[in-house]
Amino acid sequence: MKTKDEFLTDVLARLRIVLPQSTDRLIPLHEPTFGGNEWEYIKECLDTRWVSSVGQYVSRFETELAEYTGAKFAVAVVNGTAALHMCLRLCGVRPDDEVLVPALTFIATANAVNYCGAVPHFVDCAEETLGLDPLKLELYLQEVARVSGDECFNQQSGRRIKAVVPMHTFGCPVDLDVLVDVCERYKLALVEDAAESLGSYYKGRHTGNWGMLSALSFNGNKIVTTGGGGAILCNDRQLAEQAKHLTTTAKLPHAWAFSHDEVGYNYRLPNINAALGVAQLEQIASFLNSKRQLAMTYQSAFAGCQSIQYFKEPLHSSSNYWLNTFLLDDAYSKWLDDLLALTNQEGIMTRPCWTPLHHQIMYTNCPRMDLSVTERLAKRIINVPSSASLGGLHG
């Protein structure tokens, strides 16, 4: 066991092997790279005055997203949170339903459930993926759930459990094979929060293409950005048409009349943002390459280190390595805050993972299973600078 100072000095030295030296600016956690046709495509939007929610880049972005992920349909929206909200609406979540979500995720996953008037029900995570643990979920459902016809009920609360929303944490896919099977047997709709996992695959199939619907995000810190943006993926034409209807104004087709058949959300992605997305998507292969190279460099810089371990993609998975992640050994986790303070002070931006959702004031009274793995992981995770631009430095 090292002393606190030995531990901090060692980690800082190893990070400095990987990261650029003698820079007077903070190395961000994740900044975008604009190295392609971004200027040209955005200029074209301005020149042609097609800047808003209609325009050729929106449909082009949707087509190319579908092609890239292997999903049949993609519907572009204003952000990933809106995409999640719509996925849950479209899979049939109603007020007073419960939706199973991992306790360790970004707040948006639970907020989207709340927007539907439904209740998040927290599931523990697996140490191997940092995402929802489908085996532990199954054991839990055996205990608390009752399937009746095509529906699943929580025997403790009496509420219907409609869906489960796994999230592929920092780009690492959850164990989808097992989860798909659990969903079938318990009649749960599978909606993936794939906001962090564009470019990540499980057993060769793209994440976000395993369930009924999924949500992507193109926020500024994600692997591909549109400034702000998101998309809904699905393989069912009727669902895709409903997604388009609901994310616009739910207007009935007519040459001039304004007649609507439900409350639409106007979640459309503007053309100008889609133009940025098309240019970014053209470069995704090179982003993924750089990020994998960076991941390898971190891994070798920390090889043999006992106090803190690099988090690797599990077998059968290919992560996009969106955010490089380390896990402090349990004995060292008491110094996580010291490590965060030191690295940020030294110009290396690092972050802990999210405060688990059952500790967030809005969700403290929500149903949950035993969350001991989540609790333990949350004390040990640290994310380090992960921009694609850092991956080219090591040739």
Ligand X SMILES: *Cc1c(COP(=O)(O)O)cnc(C)c1O
Query: Please, what is the minimum distance in Å from the beta carbon of residue 270 to ligand X?
Result: 14
Residue closer to ligand X, measured from CB, 55 or 102: 102
Note whether 168 and 320 are within 8 A (CB): no
Q: How far is the CB of 6 from ligand X (least distance, A)?
A: 34
Return the sign of the alpha-carbon dihedral for residues 126, 128, 130, 135. negative
Find the shortest distance in angstroms from Cβ 62 to ligand X.
16
Question: Which tokens in the block code for residue 115?
Answer: 């927007």
Q: Which is nearer to ligand X, 323 or 327 (CB)?
A: 323
Q: Which is nearer to ligand X, 152 or 231 (CB)?
A: 231
CB of 112 to ligand X, least distance (A): 8
Buried b (16+ CB within 10 A) or exposed e, 288-316: bebbbbbbebbeebbeeeebbbbbebbee
CB of 222 to ligand X, least distance (A): 6
Q: How far is the CB of 317 from ligand X (least distance, A)?
A: 17
The nearer residue to ligand X, 83 or 328, going by C-beta atoms, is 83
Dihedral, CA of residue 117, residue 71, residue 383 and residue 381, to nearest 10: 60
Q: Can you give the binding site for ligand X, defined by CB under 6 A?
A: 79-81, 105-106, 108-109, 167, 193, 195-196, 217, 219, 230
At 384, give phi and psi (nearest 5°): -125, 165
Q: Are 205 and 183 in contact (CB under 8 A)?
A: no
State how far the Cα of 164 lies from the Cα of 171, in Å rounded to an integer.
18
Closer residue to ligand X in complex, CB, 86/141: 86
Per DSSP, 125 falls in state B
Cβ proximity to ligand X, 81 vs 271, nearer residue: 81
Q: Which residue is nearest to ligand X (CB)?
A: 80
Residue pair 307/253 in contact (Cβ under 8 Å)? The answer is: no
Among 218, 314, 240, smallest CA distance to 87 is for: 240
